[in-house]
Structure 1
Amino acid sequence: MNFLSHFYFERYASESARVVGCLLPDLLKNADKEYVFHPNRFEEQIFVHPMMVEIYQGWYRHVEVDKVFHSSPFFLEHNHELRKQLDPIVSHLPIRASFLGHISLELLLDHLLIEYKMVNVNRFYEHLEHVNRSILKRFLEIIGLQDTTKFFHFYDQFLSWKYVHEYADLSRLSVPLFNICKRVWHFDVETPDHLALTEALRSYTENHLPDFRDIFKFVNDRLTIGQ
């Protein structure tokens, strides 16, 4: 799941540390795709501070949410169907349609959460802004990120760009989707590529995702961490 979908499961959290924790695995991967951390190996150091415990619990709720989501019939069926519909659109590009279908589904869920006012994007950013940075920095150092400069540079950019707001407009999703693909493959896209992808996503949303709320209930009913 993407940022807002993870936030959905922490939308009532009172502690910003908990919210940042549930976003942290993806924030780190966006800062540097080579980052790999296992906070459970450092519980003795983490559990000395309640705010670090909140980050830790948010982190492992993120892990559990992704595990449940990616093994769900919803994900497997829609990922397969989207791949088929996107394949002719990217057949002239090096992009794997299965990869694009996966990330498209996740961004469409974020889009629908905004459209149906199921999350508050301003609140999402408020949590990111208000988290205790010294505690977050210490958490990152404990799990193995000794030089946090690169991460916080990305974090500040993420806050200043506030691009998650753009997910409200389905016609803008093609840009971040192609940009994500460019992290894996080298290619250029033209206006017709953006238009074709946008139309495919619009059609898929209208025809195949009227019951998108069901996946959030499905995941929520199977969560064990932090319930």
Structure 2
Amino acid sequence: MNFLAHGYKYLDRPLFMAGTAVPDWLSVIDRKVRARSRLVAPVVEASNDPQVREIGLGILQHHADDDIFHRCALFQQLEAELSSGFRRFMPDRYDHRPGFLGHITVELLLDATLAAADTSLLDRYYDVLAEIDAVDFEAVVNTMTTRPTDKLVRLIAAFRKERFLDDYFDDERLLYRLNQVLHRVKLPAASDDVIEVLAAARDTLTQRGPDLLKIVANGS
């Protein structure tokens, strides 16, 4: 799951909603900085601070949702279908990109499906993020991570300003964002040819995305 799918149900709980974004934000900052459940849960359990509890519970919700999402048969089916589509343009069997792209494209297009179904949702999501005091937020997150970071404040500011979730509505802009992710994990960019795969995947997620969300909501 991606940012919007993790957080859209919690617009009335700003810190919790922002907490659901923390594991993905940290992976952008430094893949060695992690907020794992085994680190977060004891901090939440020991704290009477509402801010600490809301942020920590949001992080734990992220991990619980991801666990259900990635294990469900429908996600695995869609991931395999998309990976096969990408493989047509990346035939080298040692190329790791088709499987990687199959996985993250399902997640990003699920966000696009959610936002398309409710045209005010993205604006409301970003409005809620604007309520967060990023300095205080970073300080709390640093009590729950494998090591502290001083980059979360800047990332949250950039995340709010750039609004890259808007780019998921367009196949060419989506490919640009996917190539940014490939660059971050040191893999070559995908060619424009794969826009064909993205267009077909968008139709598939429009149909099957609600089923994925129901699976996560039901916890199985």
TM-score clears 0.5: yes
Asked if the contact 1:7/1:22 (under 8 Å) is kept, the reply is yes
Note the 1:2-151 alignment, pairs <5 A: 2-10=2-10, 13-37=11-35, 38-43=39-44, 47-91=47-91, 94-117=95-118, 120-144=121-145, 148-151=149-152
Cα deviations by residue, 1:183-225 (Å, 9 ceiling, x for unpaired): 2234355xxx22x2212111233257513211111110118xx
Q: Separation in 2 of the partners of 1:71 and 1:118?
A: 29
- CA 1:119 to 1:97, structure 2 compared with 1: closer, same or farther past 3 Å? farther
- CA 1:100 to 1:132, structure 2 compared with 1: closer, same or farther past 3 Å? same
What's 1:201 paired with? Answer: 198
Q: Which amino acid aligns with 1:122?
A: D
Q: Separation in 2 of the partners of 1:119 and 1:65?
A: 24
Asked if the contact 2:20/2:58 (under 8 Å) is kept, the reply is yes
Give the stretch that moved more between structures: 82-91 or 131-140.
131-140
Q: Separation in 2 of the partners of 1:165 and 1:75?
A: 23
Return the offset for 1:100. Answer: 0.9
Return the offset for 1:69. Answer: 0.3
Q: Unpaired runs of 5+ in structure 2?
A: none
Please state whether the residue corresponding to 1:149 is helix, strand or coil.
coil
Q: Separation in 2 of the partners of 1:96 and 1:167?
A: 19
Give the stretch that moved more between structures: 30-39 or 15-24.
30-39
The answer to which structure has the higher helix fraction is 2
Return the offset for 1:171. Answer: 3.1
Give the stretch that moved more between structures: 91-100 or 29-38.
91-100
Q: Separation in 2 of the partners of 1:144 and 1:115?
A: 34
Q: Separation in 2 of the partners of 1:118 and 1:217?
A: 20
Return the offset for 1:174. Answer: 0.6
Please state whether the residue corresponding to 2:99 is helix, strand or coil.
helix
- CA 1:57 to 1:119, structure 2 compared with 1: closer, same or farther past 3 Å? farther
Please state whether the residue corresponding to 1:143 is helix, strand or coil.
coil
Q: Separation in 2 of the partners of 1:49 and 1:32?
A: 27
Asked if the contact 2:109/2:202 (under 8 Å) is kept, the reply is yes
Q: Separation in 2 of the partners of 1:19 and 1:207?
A: 27
Q: Which amino acid aligns with 1:81?
A: E
Q: Which amino acid aligns with 1:65?
A: D
Give the stretch that moved more between structures: 139-148 or 211-220.
139-148
What's 1:170 paired with? Answer: 171
Cα deviations by residue, 1:160-196 (Å, 9 ceiling, x for unpaired): 111111222233211111211112234355xxx22x2
Give the stretch that moved more between structures: 124-133 or 87-96.
87-96
Asked if the contact 2:113/2:206 (under 8 Å) is kept, the reply is no
Give the stretch that moved more between structures: 22-31 or 207-216.
207-216
- Cα RMSD after superposing both structures: 2.3
Q: Aligned residues: percent identity?
A: 25
Return the offset for 1:146. Answer: 6.9
Return the offset for 1:144. Answer: 4.4
